[in-house]
Structure 1
Amino acid sequence: MTERFRSGAGRPCLDFVRTLRYRGTPTETEELPDAAAWGAWIDQLGPFSAPVRPAGVADARAAREAIHELLTGSLRPSSRQRLNRFAALPVPAPSLTPSGELRWQAEDPAAAMLALLTRDALELATSREFARVRRCAGPACGALFLDTSRPGTRRWCSMEICGNQAKKSTYRAKATAQG
């Protein structure tokens, strides 16, 4: 499977919030424009072995924005209610196949994925880890990530992308100043 969506933010809810890429910048990009994209996100990052084909994307976007509000300290009462509603949905259930493989199943996989994501966000927001949720220092990024570094001083969501761009910019600025 081709990696279409970014992952590696440290928690599933943080990876999900990243689907509004470059949030708050002039290059803000909606990565969930339709139900097919939402299904592709679930297929790439969710627990299901069979492709998921959601009926729509509105609930996914509403959940994503409510999660973002929760994790950035700007939670409105309507978003809190939305989070609670999504978190109350049934989650996927594990089952063992005859060959001994673990499979995850749900009557409505897209709704079950929203339940997993909102529960993850609620758990994160009420845990000690929440103090280590950071916003990427990349000027064009702004993604949230969980800083799991020992000293807790990580600055970029990805050293390979944002960190590397910052280092290149610093190098160029020094070279220009010296030249």
Structure 2
Amino acid sequence: MINVDEFRFNSGRIALDLPATVRRRASEPQDVLAPSGAPARWLRDAGLSHELLALSPEQTSDLEKLREAIWAVADAAAAERDLPADAVATLNEMAALPLAVPKLDAKSVTVKLFADDPFQTALATIARDAIDLLGSPLRTRIKACEQPDCRMLFLDTSRSSRRRWCSMDRCGSRAKGAAFRARNRQDAHEH
């Protein structure tokens, strides 16, 4: 069972937050979108839907397909490998779905977005963000968390471009704690 803090939105881009729904990809993968209703909650919590959408199994499958395509392309970009053509085709296909239409409200002078199919709009938004990121010089700043069992992808926006972990609170803290314990064990053996 996954805890209430099930979704992480700290990768730096919504397109990288979606693949982050598979935790510990490099060791014991945990799919936080697997529980019933989780895909709809993720879309809402990501700000891609105002309400909780009732997703069909096919829609859930499409979201997972987009997630894996982004993972494949972004992981290849981070490792400076050729991008997988089938995953790129999935991104392009989903980016072609209709976006929401902005409308200006005369009384409140605010912009509201209207979509005939909020789910397709969410897929298109995520896919377009992935294409925007991967087709720009920022793709060289996509990194994988250095914690061996994590490998979550994130956008390193630090000035020095030396960020090592997806989150200092999670993986960074674990890595620093392990290094501290290793130093203490080594010091104990030397004395």
- State the TM-score, normalizing by the size of structure 1: 0.90
Spell out, residue by residue over 1:44-71, the C-alpha distance to the aligned partner (whole angstroms, 9 max, x if none). 0023322222223100111111111111
Q: Which amino acid aligns with 2:7?
A: F
Distance of 2:75 and 2:133 partners within structure 1: 12
SS of 2:113's equivalent in the other structure is: strand
SS of 2:70's equivalent in the other structure is: helix
Distance of 1:165 and 1:3 partners within structure 2: 18
Distance of 1:35 and 1:91 partners within structure 2: 26
Q: Structure 1's 90 and 3: CA in aligned 2 closer, same or farther, altered over 3 A?
A: farther
Report if the CA contact (8 A) 2:75-2:144 is conserved.
no
Q: Which amino acid aligns with 2:88?
A: R
Q: Residue 115 of structure 2 corresponds to which residue in structure 1?
A: 106
Coordinate RMSD, CA, aligned: 1.9
* Identity among equivalent pairs (%): 34
Highest Rg: 1 or 2?
2
- Of 76, 81, 87, which residue of structure 2 is paired with 1:79? 87
Post-superposition offset of 1:139: 1.5
Which runs of structure 2 are paired with 1:1-179 in the superposition (5 Å)? 3-25=5-27, 27-33=28-34, 36-56=37-57, 57-73=60-76, 75-96=83-104, 99=108, 102-179=111-188
Distance of 1:112 and 1:18 partners within structure 2: 20
Q: Which amino acid aligns with 1:33?
A: A
Distance of 2:181 and 2:102 partners within structure 1: 52
Report if the CA contact (8 A) 1:6-1:15 is conserved.
yes
Q: Structure 1's 102 and 5: CA in aligned 2 closer, same or farther, altered over 3 A?
A: farther
Post-superposition offset of 1:77: 2.9
Distance of 1:4 and 1:106 partners within structure 2: 27
- State the TM-score, normalizing by the size of structure 2: 0.84
Q: Which amino acid aligns with 1:84?
A: N
Post-superposition offset of 1:24: 2.7
